[in-house]
Amino acid sequence: MTVEEFNQAVNQHSDGVYRFILKNIKDEDKAKDIIQDTYEKLWKKHTEVSFSKVKSYLFSAAYHTLIDLTRREKKQAQWDEVDFKKHSHNDGYSDLNEVLHQAVDRLPETQRMVVMMRDYEGYSYKEISDITGLSESQVKVYIFRARKYLKEYIGKIEILV
């Protein structure tokens, strides 16, 4: 990949990669750091990565950088006893968008990633498989389980509205 192609890749894909990371991490500064690290990785391997595969490489590198950051932070975190009252949802609420975001936040990390890539970013199962390194069948299973959890968490729509 040439310098011009690298710059074109930055212009074409930086917003999408940033939205994807920000949606999953919800911290603008950390998301910017991850994006910067991702483009640094791309630059270091720009001679090895073809321009036609740059989008997949960027999302894959950003995904793995996010996973690494999350794992490092988990090791550093102080865990107290879980207060289950904080994590339960039992009263009716009319803001479906907020309830959906709360439900997505409660998903396990891998399920949240793949369901966001599929339903929010619109990637195919094959693209998600390439980005995450999971098989297509694993991706489908994670998406199914995430959607099932979201459906159970939100419950019947009549209760919310």
Domain chopping of the chain, boundaries: 3-76, 96-160
b/e for 86-113, b at 16 or more Cβ within 10 A?
Answer: eeeeeeeeeeeeebeeebbeebeebbbb
* CATH entry, 3-76, from 1.10.1740, 1.10.3470, 1.10.150, 1.10.1200: 1.10.1740
CATH of segment(s) 96-160: 1.10.10.10
- Summarised one tens digit per residue, pLDDT across range 84-143 is 555 555 555 456 777 778 888 888 888 888 988 888 888 889 988 988 898 999 999 999
pTM, two decimals, is 0.50
Task: Give pLDDT, residue 141.
Answer: 92
Q: Would you say residue 75 has pLDDT above 90?
A: no
User: What would the mean pLDDT of 22-35 be, rounded to a whole number?
Assistant: 85
